[in-house]
């Protein structure tokens, strides 16, 4: 699902807070982790949130290495357990601290170590596991090995898809909170790449609205979706100045 992000919104930074299109959000998860180097409860919580976000991209990369599903789950869990246990983030330069790049480099190093030791990662090695969704619950667990893309490209694609999914889920929660869950479902189908989407006329008839009202509602829907995508990306960079560059990379990945 493509969000078609646009650069028509403005961004300002005031006292460490990013102001985007009238919506302010605080210091990013990644900057909290870097500044505290994992030693504070806030940094630990932020790192756990980021690990949950990166489960799918990391798992996709591991699977593309020819690792079976169960072993890939164990390796992915082992990688995150080690990351949380060691909190070894000193090698990350803050001005270049994009979580997407750091995670991939750290994963490659982790897998190289595992190969050198020829060590099988077993479930429940004693580390505290990350509370993740069941990796077997989604179709994405089985598609990576047969994909013609490289492991790095699969990682990037899963990263982009996760950003969009999380932003859309936040938007869904907002609509549900205002008793507009059904309207959300209809407007979401108007996003690009959605097969069998209803026409605006059909949505208008369903909700007793004019087509112009549906068009306006969808415009607000897209604008908020784009803001939430930006917010999700913002949490994975060290400084607000990195947001636009990471967003441009997201668009490149989606269009590839």
Question: Residue 115 has what pLDDT?
Answer: 76
Residue 11: pLDDT band (50, 70, 90) is: very low
Question: Residue 96 has what pLDDT?
Answer: 53
Tokens (6 digits) for 97: 């601290």
Using DSSP's 3-state secondary structure scheme, residue 16 falls into coil
Question: Residue 36 has what pLDDT?
Answer: 52
Q: pLDDT per residue over 63-77, tens digit each? A: 988 888 888 888 888
Question: Residue 33 has what pLDDT?
Answer: 65
pTM of the model: 0.69
Judged against a pLDDT cut of 50, whether residue 21 lies above it is answered with no
For 193, the enclosing helix (H) or strand (E) is none
Higher pLDDT, 162 or 43: 162
Q: pLDDT per residue over 46-59, tens digit each? A: 777 777 778 889 99
Residue 129: pLDDT band (50, 70, 90) is: low
Question: Residue 55 has what pLDDT?
Answer: 87
Share of the chain above pLDDT 70, in %: 66
Q: What is the mean pLDDT of residues 69-90?
A: 78
Choose the weakest-confidence range: 18-32, 62-76, 103-117: 18-32
Tokens (6 digits) for 229: 């995508």
Q: What is the mean pLDDT of residues 201-229?
A: 94
Residue 205: pLDDT band (50, 70, 90) is: very high
Cα–Cα distance between 91 and 78 in angstroms, integer? 20
**Do 76 and 104 contact (CB within 8 A), yes or no?**
no
**Do 64 and 144 contact (CB within 8 A), yes or no?**
yes
Judged against a pLDDT cut of 70, whether residue 185 lies above it is answered with yes
Question: Residue 192 has what pLDDT?
Answer: 77
Q: What is the mean pLDDT of residues 199-218?
A: 93
Cα–Cα distance between 50 and 48 in angstroms, integer? 5
Q: What is the mean pLDDT of residues 153-172?
A: 92
Judged against a pLDDT cut of 50, whether residue 238 lies above it is answered with yes
Q: What is the mean pLDDT of residues 109-119?
A: 74
């Amino acid at each position: 699902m493509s969000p078609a992000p646009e650069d028509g919104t403005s961004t300002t930074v005031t006292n460490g807070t990013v102001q985007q299109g009238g919506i302010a959000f605080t210091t990013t998860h990644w900057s909290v982790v870097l500044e505290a180097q994992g030693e504070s409860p806030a940094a630990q919580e932020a790192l756990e949130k980021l690990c949950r976000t990166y489960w799918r991209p990391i798992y996709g990369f591991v699977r593309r290495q020819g690792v079976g599903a169960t072993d890939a789950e164990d390796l992915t869990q082992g990688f995150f357990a080690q990351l949380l246990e060691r909190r070894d983030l000193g090698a990350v330069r803050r001005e270049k601290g994009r979580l997407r790049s750091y995670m991939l480099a750290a994963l490659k190093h982790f897998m190289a170590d595992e190969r050198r030791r020829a060590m099988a990662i077993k479930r429940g090695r004693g580390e505290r596991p990350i509370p993740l969704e069941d990796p077997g619950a989604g179709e994405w667990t089985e598609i990576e090995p047969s994909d013609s893309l490289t492991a790095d490209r699969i990682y990037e694609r899963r990263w982009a898809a996760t950003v969009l999914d999380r932003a859309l889920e936040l938007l869904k929660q907002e609509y549900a909170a205002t008793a507009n869950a059904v309207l959300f479902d209809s407007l979401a189908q108007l996003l690009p790449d959605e097969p069998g989407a209803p026409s605006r006329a059909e949505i208008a008839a369903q909700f007793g609205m004019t087509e112009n009202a549906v068009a306006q509602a969808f415009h607000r829907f897209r604008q908020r979706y784009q803001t939430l995508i930006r917010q999700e990306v913002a949490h994975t960079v060290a400084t607000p100045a990195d947001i636009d560059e990471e967003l441009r990379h997201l668009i490149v990945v989606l269009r590839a």
